[in-house]
Amino acid sequence: MLYLNETDIKSLIQMKDVLDLVDAAFQAQGEGLAPNQPRRRLIMPKGALQVMYGGLPGQGYFGLKAYSTFPGIGVRFIFLLWDSNSAELLAFMEANILGQIRTGAASGVGARYMAREDVTEAGLFGTGWQARAQLEALCCARPLERVKIYSRSAEKREKFVDKMKDAVPAELVPVETPAEAVRGSQIVCTMTTAREPVFDGNDLEPGTTVIPAGSNRAANREVDDETFRRAARGRIATDSLEGARIESGDLIRAVAARAIDWGQVVEIGQIASGKMPGRASADEINMFVSQGVGIEDVAIGAEIYKRAKAAGAGEDLPVEGSFKKPT
């Protein structure tokens, strides 16, 4: 079994590659060739364990990602990859970076299929670790010239811009209000832990693609009912309808408020596989609600594994018993 740490993973793959891998996984999903199980959570007195898994039988892999969340300690991810034809356990990976880049890439794929071709400006809500990958992926998906950065903290806005200004080709502009981030933007992406909407849907301009990517708990919400009402006239997509019914606070609460109904929500795989368009007109407002699914991790983890084997990266760990390759 191959062991890969965060440094190994960072050296083996770039965002542009990850975007294509996640895109291909969604295409397989749309063809019914990517079985996936929604995230499951185990809540304990001092912390929580989350697990999600999926498979790409066409590539010969399935995998599992697990992560713990503890106040004062943070989040710790691991990923396990198996050969789906032989049951051999192939790799154990530290997966904080894997989780970060795949979350960003999913938003990038949403922009690739649903945003207008002539996008030049975006608004990004959030300045944390995950927001960095959102910015990188959006700039890979579309040739953005300007991205407005909003956080309630002026200090965090400025620090984010200073850290990321050389990482992307777009000009990064810190803004003081949510309205400034939204108005004039053709993409609005949110990566926050908010429990209430972070902007007013009335500020959205025709043709905007909205990508809420931070709400994967039923109690959280980044987008208001007005945004959903306007997007429902175009297209609303998510990465997993089954998972969305469990943990997408944005969708759950919009349905409860009767701003939309579940029948108006499709899976991004249907769009990626060409079965339906991401947008029907230049003026429609549309939305991709990203929560994160296991097939994204499997697609990226499998490619990292193959590259690591080719490069001689990582460390081989002895495996005994039932985890060994059958002989």
Per domain, the residue ranges of the chain are 2-99+294-318, 104-289
The pLDDT of residue 111 is 98
How far is Cα of residue 203 from the mean position of the Cα atoms in its chain?
A: 24
The pLDDT of residue 327 is 63
Q: Is 84 helix (H, G, I), strand (E, B) or coil?
A: coil
User: Per the structure block, which two tokens stand in for 139?
Assistant: 């700039």
The pLDDT of residue 324 is 67
- How confident is the model over 73-89, as a mean pLDDT? 96
Contact 199, 187 (CB under 8 A): no
> How does pLDDT run across 1-36, given as a tens digit for each residue?
999 999 999 999 999 999 999 999 999 999 999 999
Pairing of strands 2-4, 315-316: antiparallel
The pLDDT of residue 186 is 98
The pLDDT of residue 86 is 94
**326 to 82, 88, 228, 318: CA distances (angstroms):** 13, 7, 51, 15
Answer yes or no: pTM beyond 0.85.
Answer: yes
pLDDT classification of 320: cutoffs 50, 70, 90: confident
> How does pLDDT run across 160-189, given as a tens digit for each residue?
999 999 999 999 999 999 999 999 999 999
pLDDT classification of 321: cutoffs 50, 70, 90: low
pLDDT classification of 88: cutoffs 50, 70, 90: very high
For 132-142, give one letter per residue: b (16+ CB within 10 A) or e: bbbbbbbbbbb
Q: Is the pLDDT of residue 322 over 90?
A: no
pLDDT classification of 319: cutoffs 50, 70, 90: confident
What phi-psi label fits residue 188: left (phi over 0), alpha (psi between -120 and 50 degrees) or beta?
Answer: beta
pLDDT classification of 83: cutoffs 50, 70, 90: very high
The pLDDT of residue 314 is 97
Count the neighbouring beta carbons within 10 Å of the beta carbon of residue 307: 17
The pLDDT of residue 168 is 98
The pLDDT of residue 326 is 65
Which DSSP letter does residue 97 get?
H
Rounded-to-integer distance, Cα 49 and Cα 107, Å? 24
- How confident is the model over 216-225, as a mean pLDDT? 95
> How does pLDDT run across 273-316, given as a tens digit for each residue?
999 999 999 999 999 999 999 999 999 999 999 999 999 999 99
> How does pLDDT run across 52-69, given as a tens digit for each residue?
999 999 999 999 999 999
Pairing of strands 209-212, 74-83: unpaired
Q: Is the pLDDT of residue 323 over 80?
A: no
Q: Own/partner pairs for 172-179, CB < 8 Å, 24+ apart?
A: 172/135, 172/146, 172/147, 173/146, 173/147, 173/148, 173/149, 174/148, 174/149, 174/150, 175/123, 175/148, 175/149, 175/150, 176/150, 177/150, 178/125, 178/150, 178/203, 179/203
Q: Based on the number of CB atoms within 10 Å of its own CB, is 165 exposed (0-12), middle (13-18) or buried (19 or more)?
A: exposed
Averaged pLDDT of the chain: 96
User: Tokens 């770039």 — which residue?
Assistant: 14
Q: Is the pLDDT of residue 81 over 90?
A: yes
Is the domain spanning 2-99+294-318 CATH 3.90.79.10? The answer is no
The pLDDT of residue 205 is 97
**Domain 104-289: CATH superfamily, name plus number:** NAD(P)-binding Rossmann-like Domain (3.40.50.720)
Contact 285, 86 (CB under 8 A): no
